[in-house]
Chain A
Amino acid sequence: MRKPLSAFAVHAILGLYTLLALFPIVLVVMNSFKARRAIFNTPLHPPSPANFDPVGYARVFGDSSLAFYYLNSITVTAGAIILTLLFGAMAAWALTEYKFRWNTLLALFLSIGIMVPIRLGSVAIIQLVAELNLINTLTALILVYTAQNLPLAIFILSEFIAQIPKDLREAARCDGLSEYNIFFHVILPLIRPAMATVAVFTMIPVWNDLWFPLLLAPAGGRQTITLGVQQFLGQYITDWNAVLAALSTAIVPVLLLYVIFSRQLIRGLTSGAVK
């Protein structure tokens, strides 16, 4: 960055790409506040007192179920993250720490899921969930997403646990801590950055998934927000005020959360992905 010209070029490229990344999002959010005619005739104008019309939001929030759908999505995503992290860390610990007979084979078995999409087994999953009496419950979604995310979680966490100096564990053992205590009180706190990485990789696809909510919990107020918005869009497809407001409602909270936590997430990503 010694020459100012090259610094300018770098900022020009990054800035242009940032615009490209943001433009569609801004366009939708901006127009969601405008009157129908203004949306169609002057889509690039920002909202102003002249064309302001929140009718779309009135429609979206008049449909009171959307608030519940948010709660559902939060429950499912949090549930899946917690189970994935807990079960994943426990399994990763056992696989790296204890050298038992089927260790390598089991590790390989657990990594199949990284390569193969669970979606290909949808029908068997539906039947299974039905037999367990879990249809239209959030539990079913949490379990499926946990199964879906465990392989990558175990993979990342194993690599990370392997980096923890042996002395630490041996010292803990000398202090007379049980294996369980070593894991929960020594190891878990140490792998927090890696767990942040796993949390991100779990969160994005779970929050945004349309497929399994559609098949496993499509009704009865158990819809996730992604499915709820999809259903809402289907219903008001020609009402662009409502469509744009619904899209904004789906976009903005996710992005706000992302911006708030992005520093932690990136820190987790950078320290987690490095080895």
Chain B
Amino acid sequence: MLIKGLKALLLGAAAAIALSGAASAGTLTIESWRNDDAQIWKDKIIPAFEKAHPDIKIEFTPTAPKEYNAALNAKLEGGTAGDIITCRPFDASLELFNKGFLVPLNDLSTMGNFSDVARSAWTTDDGKTTFCVPMASVIHGFIYNKDIFKELGLTEPRTEEEFFAVLEKIKANGAYVPLVLGTNDQWEAATMGFQNIGPNYWKGEEGRKALIAGTGRLTDPAYVSTFATLAKWAPYLGDGFKAQTYPDSQNLFGLGKGAIYAAGSWDISTFRAQKVNMGAFKPPLPAGAAECYISDHTDIGIGMNAKTKNPGDAKVFLEWIGSEEFANILGNELPGFFPLSNAKVTLSDDVAQTFVNWRAECKSTIRNSYQILSRGTPNLENEMWNVSAQVINGAMTPDAAARQLQDGLAKWYAPQQK
């Protein structure tokens, strides 16, 4: 009796497995960490591609950002990753290329649509081979709630002095959280804090390249001052900001409870969905600074899994990613991701347009931990997350933070050991 039941169940289970195992041929799956954008991919981007290429089916299968690298590496090692790989910039993807998981894409016809700067994030150190199609960059700055600014009679601050004066006024009013940022997830502190305002201190590319060359030190006044300014944010952050997660921050500002949001431009679409009446201002200038710098970070590219069973179709898709059509869809459907293509794209979102306008006013740079400097142990990016959060939490002095970063880097990076 029992054995019969077991048998029937086993057979049933086997049948269910067999049924669920049938996958259609000619499908390309995309690995990505942009789970926030899944809906846009499904509703806008993929249909646009499939309209022109009805024989190729695309499936967008994102993993949450914090799992993406681990899951992707494991799947690549196991030979089970999707056909199309969304590429993190610089070393993470370079490593994948060196291991043979990504293929050279120099021969893509649309690769000519990208400048050397745009390609640099996904090109070998010798500059010869590009292995991902550059997709978008993201810009840091501050997004503010226009209604609150109007209610309190505030204007966009241009200098740090004005910035803190504005924060002080919002705080004095008491109805809103002056500055929205949490340190629970740590990366917010480093990315929306340190990398956001820092370029004005270390003079963008000049400072970044000096670190790589070994002529600049992370203990230089520029970095200590950046941390010192970050430390001054604490009194204006939300109550309990130490346990505030990134989604908490998004909700705080999205619900209209916060006045200023330390931003990445990619947050625009989140707040659009929540109907926030918003504007944006660039990182305010520190005292004595004449020129402004912004973090315009090459953030996202797209490459091909070397083991794809469908390289022909995959290349067709990647060519399309390099096209003007895609640049237009991306720039307008995902405001805040700025296409890296040379194609002329008109942005319909005014806040996104505000961010892009800064490119003409200020000098652009990328995040200083991304190229070369996070190749060793301890990992510079991890260290930046850790110390930036601690500095804002008041658990570490700016000097100690800078010292820890420099000591960690000097441990393995030869140019910093001289």
Contact = CB atoms under 8 A, between A and B. Distances in A.
B74 A230 contact: no
Interface string B228-259: 00000000000000000001001100110000
B59 A78 contact: no
Interface string B33-76: 00110110000000000000000000101111101000100110
Interface string A100-143: 00000000000000000000001100110110000111110010
Contacts of B65: 234
A222 interface: yes
Interface string B69-94: 00100110111101000000000000
A70 B331 CA distance: 36
A231 B255 CA distance: 23
Interface string A58-95: 00000000000001100100110010001000000000
12 contacts: A78-B9, A86-B6, A126-B75, A135-B80, A142-B17, A184-B3, A188-B3, A231-B63, A234-B35, A234-B65, A235-B62, A237-B250
A228 to B, nearest CB: 12
A222 B23 CA distance: 11
Most buried by B among A127, A142, A230, A235: A235
Most buried by A among B39, B67, B80, B251: B80
A221 B250 CA distance: 30
Contact of B270 (A135, A136, A231, A238): A238
B10 interface: yes
Interface of B: 1-3, 6, 9-10, 13, 16-17, 20-21, 23, 29, 35-36, 38-39, 59, 61-65, 67, 71, 74-75, 77-80, 82, 247, 250-251, 254-255, 270, 274
A207 B189 CA distance: 36
B64 A234 contact: yes
B247 A75 contact: no
B80 A126 contact: yes
B77 A123 contact: yes
A220 B75 contact: no
B77 A126 contact: yes
B393 to A, nearest CB: 23
A144 B284 CA distance: 55
A220 B29 contact: yes
A237 B74 contact: no
B35 A215 contact: no
B71 to A, nearest CB: 6
A79 B250 CA distance: 41
Contact of B61 (A72, A184, A185, A219): A219
A84 to B, nearest CB: 12
A90 to B, nearest CB: 11
A222 B20 contact: yes
A201 interface: no
A155 interface: no
Interface of A: 40, 71-72, 75, 78-79, 82, 86, 122-123, 126-127, 129-130, 135-139, 142, 184-185, 188-189, 214-215, 218-222, 230-231, 234-235, 237-238, 240
Contacts of A40: 251, 255
A119 B95 CA distance: 25
B247 A237 contact: yes
Given A82-B10, A82-B13, A231-B64, 16 more contacts: A75-B16, A126-B77, A126-B78, A126-B80, A127-B77, A184-B2, A184-B3, A188-B3, A215-B74, A215-B75, A218-B61, A218-B63, A234-B36, A234-B63, A238-B250, A240-B251
B157 to A, nearest CB: 26
Most buried by A among B39, B59, B74, B255: B74
A221 B29 CA distance: 12
Contacts of A188: 2-3
Contacts of B71: 214-215, 218
Contact of A189 (B2, B78, B270): B2
Contacts of B62: 231, 234-235
Nearest to A81: B9
A86 B8 CA distance: 13
B309 to A, nearest CB: 12
Contacts of A184: 2-3
Contacts of B270: 238
Given A219-B61, A231-B62, A130 B79 contact: yes
B78 A135 contact: yes
A230 B68 CA distance: 13
A238 B254 CA distance: 9
A215 B79 CA distance: 11
Nearest to A192: B2
B77 A235 contact: no
B74 to A, nearest CB: 5
A137 B10 contact: no
Contacts of B13: 75, 78-79, 82, 142
Contacts of B251: 40, 238, 240
A130 B29 contact: no
Contacts of B35: 231, 234-235
Contacts of B16: 71, 75, 138
Nearest to B30: A219
A78 B247 CA distance: 35
A129 to B, nearest CB: 7
Given A130-B79, A230-B64, A219 B247 contact: no
A138 B29 contact: no
A135 B80 CA distance: 7
Nearest to A78: B13
Contacts of B21: 137-139
Nearest to B1: A189
Most buried by B among A40, A129, A130: A130
Most buried by B among A82, A138, A238: A238
A221 B20 contact: yes
Q: Would you list the 6 A-B pairs with minimal beta carbon distance, nearest first?
A: A126-B78, A234-B64, A135-B80, A219-B61, A234-B35, A237-B247
